Amino acid sequence: MTIQERRLTGRLMSVAICLLMAAGFSSDAAGQNNPEKKPAPYRYPNECDPTISPKIPTTVFPILEQYPANCFSWDSFFALNWPAMSAGVPDTKKKLGEPGPVVWETYRDSDTVFLPDGAEPKPWGADFDLQNVHGRILKQPAKSRPGVPHLHLVNEAAPTVDSWLIARNGTVTLFEKLVNKTEFDYILSNGFYSAANQHAAMGSDKKGVNQPAGSIEIKAAWMQLTKEANPDWSIFLTTKAMIPSKFPVVPAGEPNATPFVEATMGLVAIHIIHKLPNAPQYIWSTFEHKDNCPDATDENVDRDYNYYNPKFQLQNFNLAPLKNPNQVKRVTKLPGIVTQINAKAHAAVRKYEETENVKTPFANYILVNTQWPSDAVVVPPAARAPLPNGKMIPRTLLNTMLETYVQDKYISCIDCHVGATIANDRNGNPSSFGSDYSFLYGLAQWPKKAE
């Protein structure tokens, strides 16, 4: 090789090294160890940080994608768990974690919206007493009441002995369903608390059920706390409630009616379902307590969970418990994009607690995931079920407390809710008219026939 060739080769090598350096590489990439240099952490598209604030977000910012949607979920979680001043209104003078009912607990329970015989409910805030929120009745061992269309098809936790969800401490998990003022006012102003009014609004020239943007539904699961099994109650959002002393529950007014007793309940799971202007298929956010259960792939589990006992070896898990506590595991592991946002949210909580000198339980909750429509579709008036699914992302979304028995089906919230319909007709026949992805409308009853 001539001197000129060696010089040219040297120049080419120098240029190549410069290009590699400009691209973020160094001689380490060629196998040279440099213990002080670490690879840059992976950044997801449109990364953001959760914000602790009493303001419920009204849009996914800056764009409807997974990471911003997960931030939206955490921002919603913080705002909805802010101490309440009145029905649905946060007390901005208080700090997150201060004692008292939180905002979502002051929403209207579906049992106070859809009344016997399709009676008109009282207006929002009527007879509301903040002091009575902690002390409310919790009695549903399921997300749905008996007879609601479609839910029997997916075998979720339901009010039958063989499909309750029983915690490791032997107590029955109780559920509640609530709506915010936007959704309640829509139901009230349209008379949709009555099955008769729902059916009157259906047809080719009718408006049907189409809830306004800003409508929020909450589905929550509570575990009774016992001093023996759950010595540290501070890791839960807690409430006082009147609960049945035994199951199945015999209704009041009947012989041997079930007495109710006061209990302290800890939140173990919550669905937040929020309709946005650019998300007519809603944003579906679901959270759980971090100590509910292990992942199905976890081996040598050596600690206790709320719904899993490592000393009780069972090959098959997520089975209806009969009389024994459940052995619950999470079938779908949390994706990395979710575990990262959870770490950010927990860090934000710890920083907030230190700055504001307050203690909260919220670093003990995890976002399971957020589902959002990648192809948002405006639903036409009085559309029939199944409604458009909006090509929701991610494809699978399951909460181990709220969809315990269907985890192996790899389905999601929207898969069931596209089939939500209005109340049955007067003869008990199911309707084909959609109810804007909400099963609550199926709770409406018909007025009594005139004598």
Q: Taking the model in full, what pTM does it have?
A: 0.87
Whole-angstrom distance, CA of residue 251 vs CA of residue 244: 10
In this structure, which long-range contacts are made by residues 387-390, counting pairs with CB atoms below 8 Å and at least 24 apart in sequence?
387/281, 387/418, 387/420, 387/434, 387/436, 387/437, 388/281, 388/418, 389/281, 389/414, 389/415, 389/418, 390/279, 390/280, 390/281, 390/414
What would the pLDDT profile of 414-440 be if each residue is shown by its tens digit?
999 999 999 999 999 999 999 999 999
Average pLDDT over residues 331-355: 97
pLDDT, position 321: 61
pLDDT of residue 299: 78
Specify the pLDDT at position 111.
Answer: 94
Burial class (CB in 10 A: 0-12, 13-18, 19+), 79: buried
C-alpha span between 406 and 86 (Å, rounded): 37
Q: Dihedrals φ, ψ of 205, to 5°?
A: -110, 20
For position 204, what pLDDT does the model report?
Answer: 76
Task: Give the tens place of pLDDT for each residue, 193-220.
Answer: 999 999 999 987 889 999 999 999 999 9
Cα–Cα dist 122/149, whole Å = 26
With a cut of 50, say whether residue 11 has pLDDT above it: no
**Predicted confidence band at 251 (pLDDT cuts at 50, 70, 90)?**
confident
- In Å, how far are 58, 121, 305, 404, 447 from 115, measured between CA atoms? 30, 7, 38, 29, 10
Q: Give pLDDT, residue 296.
A: 86
Over 80: is that where the pLDDT of 44 sits?
no
pLDDT of residue 370: 97
pLDDT in tens, 261-275: 999 999 999 999 999
Predicted confidence (pLDDT) at residue 156 exceeds the cutoff of 80? no
pLDDT at residue 10 is higher than 90? no
Task: Give the rounded percent of residues in the chain with a pLDDT score beyond 90.
Answer: 67
Q: What is the mean pLDDT of residues 391-415?
A: 88
End-to-end CA distance of the chain: 112
Average pLDDT value for residue range 161-187: 89
Lowest average pLDDT, out of 46-60, 126-140, 141-155, goes to 141-155
| Cis, bond preceding 62 (omega within 30 deg of 0) | yes
As a whole number, mean pLDDT of residues 389-412 equals 88
Both tokens of 325, joined, read: 């506590």
Q: What is the mean pLDDT of residues 329-353?
A: 96
Q: How many CB atoms lie within 10 A of CB 257?
A: 11
